Amino acid sequence: MIQKSSMKRQLQSFRQRLAFLLLLLFMLMLFRISVQQFHIQGSSMEPTLHNQEYIIVNKAAYLFAPPERGDVIVFEYPLNPHENYIKRVIAVPGDVVSVIDETVIVNGVTLHENYINKQDPENPYPSFRNHIVAPDEYFVLGDNRGDSSDSRDWGLVPRDNILGKATLIYWPFSADNFGILPSENNVFANVH
């Protein structure tokens, strides 16, 4: 009788360990599918993100909702899908966007972007006006406007190219914001 009881406990212990390992494996797979690391290379997103920082990208962020104005996204570069870029969404499908010198206007509202590095006056971008963002496409800009290749150069980002939303800087760690990327939704509050 004691032997049967001992075997029962061992079997129960084995089942618990197996269940724990299977749960752990499932969680790791889920994490791997929904989260990705990204290494910042270059200064196009300064001052928000800096060269050589590592961030976490939430690949599940847009499964049930589309990207919003102000989101910092990682996407496959439209001209070379083997290369990933990171930029800020400025205009979404149906928006009318204009860039005139350093001024960005979305749906008639001038954006007051406190998160950008001003453009180098010696290296201005050509202005364009009243560009309507097509369905399933996004207009993106780098925060460092004078040192960013973005929608002003190569056009809109197709929805299918978007890999996820940048959510956390994990290296180097910053104590002032605990690595969390600030939300800039207030910049777009009046854009409808």
Give catalytic residues, as residue numbers.
44, 87
User: What is the distance between the alpha carbons of residues 72 and 164, in angstroms, rounded to a whole number?
Assistant: 9
Which DSSP symbol is given to 68? -
User: What is the distance between the alpha carbons of residues 81 and 50, in angstroms, rounded to a whole number?
Assistant: 23
| Category of 153 on φ-ψ map: left (φ > 0), alpha (ψ -120 to 50) or beta | alpha
User: What is the distance between the alpha carbons of residues 151 and 33, in angstroms, rounded to a whole number?
Assistant: 28
Closest CA to 151 of 94, 103, 97: 97
List all residues 6 or more positions away from 45 whose beta carbon is below 8 Å from its beta carbon: 72, 86, 87, 88, 142, 143, 144, 148
Closest CA to 158 of 141, 140, 137: 137
- Is the link from the previous residue into 126 a cis peptide, with omega within 30 of 0? no
